[in-house]
Amino acid sequence: MVRALGSQYTLGELLGSGAMGQVYRGADHEGNQYAFKLLRGDLVDDKDFVARFHQERSILVTLRGENLVAVHDLVIEGSTAAIVMDLVSGGTLREQLTATGPILPAEVARIGSGIANALHEVHQAGIVHRDVKPENVLMDDAAPIRTPRLTDFGIAKMAEGSRVGRSTLMAGTPQYVAPEVADGQSVTPAADLYSLGITLYEMCCGVTPFHGETVLQVLRSHAEKLPGRPDGIPDELWEVIWGLLQKNPAARPRSAAQVSAALGSLAQRFWQAQIPVAPRLQAPPAGVPMGQGNTNETVLRMPGPVTPPVARKKRKRLPLIALAAALLAVAAGGGWALATRENSASPAGVQTGGSSEENTETTTRSGKTTTTAQRTTRPEIRLESMPDLVGLKLGEARDKLPQSMEVEIVDQIDDKKADGTVLGQEPAAGEKVDGKAKLIVARPAVTVYFDELPTTAGGWSQKGPAAMDGKQYLHSLSYGGDSYCTRETRTAEYNLSKGFRRGLATVGLSDDSEVTDFTLQLEVFADGRQLTSVRIEFGKVVPLELDLTNVLRLKFQWIVTSTTKTCGRNSLVLGEAKLLGLASEVPVSGLPPRPSTTPNGSSSPTTTTTG
């Protein structure tokens, strides 16, 4: 399914999603293919962002380089803002690292040289990328040797001056962010070089150098620890990484061009020496606290001797907490959030008074148990402003609110957070309280596989294990055999009864398909509304992720698009096709019954209101 964008472009299939928006394949009226990044709607609604969007156009569309994803146009149409970019095949560096783990030192140096070359072009134009990481490096396989190409170099600068950008974005991702950024200093090209050093480190051993259970711990490690050295990294390459990861921005290399040249030279030497890949790590070597093992350290603004760890921790605590508390989650795989709190009797903005509450006390005497009621004094909480509850468990959060407050609890699937963790709140921290609050709470997902469910229309020719691109998928749905000799539209439809939140699958053609140039177009509809449309071809698999909130009917529809012979044993496969829902919403038997409704009859999220 295609749709128009302005007077010159049309958009096709969705290629992916990220923190800043969604990327689509598309074309101009002459048929030239591009990638279109449609930016988040809240950015487009911000007049400061729109103004910056127009201002930066002349710079971004003229930036060119072998290792850059070129920007060809910036389009605003109504509530839609899009960046028109090169369409690059080959996936991201992140996908490569996920698939292979650490890569050869020669390749680390070659790819790193290309990224540094791209950063040099960006810095020469007066732009700081602000988010250098494997997800923002595309590996172009159009050339004989896969070429790294840096993308998203203009978005952060455009968002930086807007109200939405200041409140929801931060320069970097915690594992890759430079320590001076965490310290609240201005962002310079040196911050990009630090992020490049983290990326090189990860390419060598499979992990980033600073880990922690919370974002705040990671940020502190960036500021307070030196990276541990993994085994297997050649001395010359480690020297480059070490130089990039200096805490003082002034101590890092003078320019990205200098780094590119050094890494390019190492790449040739490492290929000739056939240096093997380093071991894959599950966790980085322990970082060395600043002040130990290196007499030439410089921390952030502090040249010369390093402040002792205790004093430095006290000095750093407030900037790091202020930064972490400002971070908000943004949408796909790439946003991040953190709420911090100090250990105190009363949260900020809270006054306490006295009130009594009846408790029970149980005592045992001579084998006889007696339970008595007592009146105990409990502080009565009166709020001047809303405390920061994000990151707390629900019980802890509820204890920080007055008993008289009406609190709406909204459950949200999130398997990355502990069950009952507060993910969001209304009003936001620091805002005025009006007697009501909403807390969004993480809940684990209940999984139901499609191969367990009956279809209400259409269907599949086979259920069970199937192989695609050399991988076996246990819970699969297949449609194939000799049934593609005619170009008929085929469907499989389900009644979800508004009981699920998400759908996941991996889509492709079975490895035992006979016609290798056979292609299909798969479309997915939710209550008649198209969710996605993807091209299916042999040897490639496509991840499918569907938002099924409040969806009653789900339909898969596919048709042959090959122009050559289509007869043969060719099978469309939905591998590991499953539905995710909340325990309180998923139908307990069969499908249908279903969820509670609002007074107008529409389905609502799972909520609980307490007072």
Q: List the domain boundaries for the chain.
A: 3-85, 93-289+306-326, 388-441, 447-581
CA–CA–CA angle 99, 103, 105 (5° rounding): 170
- Can you say whether residue 568 is alpha, beta or left, with left for phi > 0 and alpha for psi between -120 and 50 degrees? left
Structure tokens at 45: 């609604």
Percent of the chain, pLDDT > 90?
A: 36
Rounded Cα–Cα distance for residues 389 and 392 (Å): 6
Which residues, including other chains, have CB under 8 Å from residue 343's CB and lie 6 or more apart?
Answer: none
Which residues, including other chains, have CB under 8 Å from residue 302's CB and lie 6 or more apart?
Answer: 248
Are the C-beta atoms of residues 281 and 207 closer than 8 Å to each other? yes
Q: Which residue has the higher pLDDT, 98 or 417?
A: 98
Lowest pLDDT segment from 100-114, 311-325, 339-353: 339-353
pLDDT at 524: 96
Torsion of CA 378, 383, 386, 391, to 10 degrees: -10
Give 223's pLDDT tier (boundaries 50, 70, 90): confident
**Neighbouring C-beta atoms of residue 285, cutoff 10 Å:** 14
In the predicted structure, residue 439 carries a pLDDT above the cut 90: yes
- At 52, which helix (H) or strand (E)? helix 47-60
Q: Which residue has the higher pLDDT, 117 or 18?
A: 117
pLDDT at 341: 30
pLDDT at 568: 64
Lowest pLDDT segment from 91-100, 395-404, 425-434: 395-404
CATH pick for 447-581 out of 3.90.600.10, 2.60.120.1060, 1.10.510.10, 3.20.20.60: 2.60.120.1060
In the predicted structure, residue 3 carries a pLDDT above the cut 50: yes
Domain 3-85 has CATH 1.10.3480.10: no
Q: Which residue has the higher pLDDT, 335 or 383?
A: 383
pLDDT at 403: 75
In the predicted structure, residue 164 carries a pLDDT above the cut 50: no
Strands 436-443 and 406-413: parallel
Rounded Cα–Cα distance for residues 463 and 451 (Å): 6
pLDDT at 95: 92
pLDDT at 584: 67
Laid out side by side, the sheet with 529-537 consists of: 457-458, 490-495, 553-560, 519-526, 529-537
Binding residues: 37
Q: Which residue has the higher pLDDT, 296 or 53?
A: 53
CA–CA–CA angle 120, 123, 128 (5° rounding): 125
In the predicted structure, residue 28 carries a pLDDT above the cut 50: yes
Give 61's pLDDT tier (boundaries 50, 70, 90): confident
Are the C-beta atoms of residues 149 and 136 closer than 8 Å to each other? no
Give 445's pLDDT tier (boundaries 50, 70, 90): confident
Mean pLDDT value across residues 227-239: 94
Q: Which is nearest to 1 in space by CA: 554, 528, 521, 494? A: 521
Percent of the chain, pLDDT > 70?
A: 75
Q: pLDDT of 92-127, one tens digit each?
A: 999 999 998 999 999 999 999 999 999 999 998 888
Beta bridge mates, 382: 351
Domain 93-289+306-326 has CATH 1.10.510.10: yes
Mean pLDDT value across residues 194-205: 97
Give the number of residues written for the chain.
611
Lowest pLDDT segment from 2-6, 115-119, 591-595: 591-595
CATH pick for 388-441 out of 3.90.1300.10, 3.30.10.20, 3.40.50.620, 3.40.50.300: 3.30.10.20
Q: Which residue has the higher pLDDT, 237 or 604?
A: 237
Mean pLDDT value across residues 314-341: 39
pLDDT at 145: 84
Three-state DSSP class for 249?
A: helix
Rounded Cα–Cα distance for residues 497 and 581 (Å): 12
Entry pTM? 0.51
In the predicted structure, residue 511 carries a pLDDT above the cut 70: yes
| Per-position b or e across 75-107, b if 16+ CB within 10 A of its CB | beeeebbbbbbbbbebbbbbebbeeebbbbbbb
Lowest pLDDT segment from 372-376, 482-486, 506-510, 524-528: 372-376
Are the C-beta atoms of residues 431 and 385 closer than 8 Å to each other? yes
Three-state DSSP class for 274?
A: coil
Which residues, including other chains, have CB under 8 Å from residue 113's CB and lie 6 or more apart?
Answer: 259, 260, 261, 263, 264, 267
Asked if 131 is an active-site residue, the reply is: yes
Give 159's pLDDT tier (boundaries 50, 70, 90): low
pLDDT at 553: 94
Are the C-beta atoms of residues 394 and 439 closer than 8 Å to each other? yes
Are the C-beta atoms of residues 142 and 89 closer than 8 Å to each other? yes
In the predicted structure, residue 361 carries a pLDDT above the cut 50: no
- What's at 244, amino acid-wise? L
Lowest pLDDT segment from 86-90, 146-150, 328-332, 339-343: 339-343
Q: Which residue has the higher pLDDT, 419 or 271?
A: 271
The pLDDT mean for the chain works out to 77
Q: Which is nearest to 37 in space by CA: 52, 53, 51? A: 53
Rounded Cα–Cα distance for residues 38 and 53 (Å): 13
Give 606's pLDDT tier (boundaries 50, 70, 90): very low
pLDDT at 25: 92
Rounded Cα–Cα distance for residues 233 and 123 (Å): 28
Are the C-beta atoms of residues 457 and 437 closer than 8 Å to each other? no
CA–CA–CA angle 593, 595, 599 (5° rounding): 125
- Most confident range (mean pLDDT) of 175-189, 387-401, 530-544 is 530-544
Are the C-beta atoms of residues 480 and 536 closer than 8 Å to each other? no
pLDDT at 312: 36
Structure tokens at 348: 């900020």
CA–CA–CA angle 108, 109, 115 (5° rounding): 90
- By the 10 Å C-beta count (0-12 exposed, 13-18 middle, 19+ buried), 70 is classed as middle
pLDDT at 429: 92
pLDDT at 564: 66
- Most confident range (mean pLDDT) of 202-206, 309-313, 514-518, 562-566 is 202-206
Mean pLDDT value across residues 511-521: 84
Tell me which DSSP letter residue 133 carries.
S
With helix as H, strand as E and coil as C, how does 136-167 read?
HEEEECCCCCCEEEECCCCHHHHHHCCHHHHH
- Catalytic residue (one of 28, 45, 46, 131): 131
Binding residues for ATP: 37
Helix ranges restricted to H, 292-418: 309-326, 394-399
